[in-house]
């Protein structure tokens, strides 16, 4: 999402176009892996928005489907920009931390089978996938 596009998106949902929102979207955009609030804060040039502003806006972004958050293994919340507001998942490289957005959802079939097996009606699900990205696999193979 370019700078211009971010303005349009903000307008489209009735959010005012502010400096804080533009730089926040840009920082999320520029990272290839999910960031903590501290990491976001450190990447913002001064004068930068305060932490409360960062939290408040990230929450808005998530509501709009522009970003997602999850809690990492150190119990810290991490935020990442989504390229689509459709339902999808991500895969995280455990070595270089890179995160790749996956097209669509690979679980549709498995879940409808599950419904028949356990009797529940599935309404939603969350999936975190971890692995090794192609580059890190190559790097390991060369050793």
Partner DNA sequence: TTTGTTGCAAAGGGTTTGCAGGAGA
Partner DNA sequence: TCTCCTGCAAACCCTTTGCAACAAA
User: Which residues form the interface with a copy of itself (CB under 8 A)?
Assistant: 71, 75, 77, 91, 93-94, 100, 102, 106-107, 109-111, 113-115, 118-134, 137
Shortest separation between residue 114's beta carbon and DNA, angstroms: 28
Q: Which residue has the tokens 């502010």?
A: 18
Contact between 112 and DNA per CB under 7 A: no
- Judged by CB under 7 A, does residue 41 bind DNA? no
Contact 43, 23 (CB under 8 A): no
Residues 6+ apart with CB under 8 A from 122: 111, 112, 114, 115
Q: Is 9 in the site for DNA (CB under 7 A)?
A: no
59: contact with DNA by CB under 7 A: yes
Q: Which of DNA, a copy of itself, none interacts with 30 (beta carbon under 5 to 8 A by kind)?
A: none
Asked if 128 contacts 70 with a C-beta cutoff of 8 angstroms, the reply is yes
Q: Which is nearer to a copy of itself, 25 or 40 (CB)?
A: 40
Q: Residue 43 in contact with residue 49, Cβ under 8 Å?
A: no
Asked, as a colleague might, if the bond just before 47 is cis with ω within 30 of 0, I would say yes
Q: Which is nearer to DNA, 56 or 87 (CB)?
A: 56
Shortest distance in whole angstroms from residue 24 CB to DNA: 8
Residue 115 DSSP label? H
Phi/psi for 93 (5° steps) reads -80, 125
Instruction: Please report, as ranges, the residues that interact with DNA according to CB under 7 A.
Output: 10-11, 14-21, 36-38, 47-53, 55-57, 59, 75-77
């Amino acid at each position: 999402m370019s700078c211009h596009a971010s303005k349009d998106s903000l307008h489209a949902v009735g959010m005012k176009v502010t400096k804080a929102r533009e730089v926040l979207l840009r920082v999320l955009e520029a990272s290839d892996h999910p960031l903590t609030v501290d990491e976001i804060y450190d990447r913002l040039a001064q004068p930068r928005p305060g932490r409360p502003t960062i939290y408040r806006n990230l929450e808005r972004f998530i509501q709009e489907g522009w970003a997602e958050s999850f809690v990492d293994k150190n119990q810290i919340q991490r935020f990442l920009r989504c390229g689509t507001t459709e339902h999808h998942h991500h895969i995280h490289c455990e070595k270089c931390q890179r995160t790749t957005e996956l097209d669509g959802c690979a679980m549709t079939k498995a879940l409808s089978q599950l419904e028949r097996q356990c009797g529940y009606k599935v309404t939603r699900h969350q999936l975190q996938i971890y692995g090794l990205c192609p580059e890190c696999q190559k790097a390991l193979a060369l050793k």
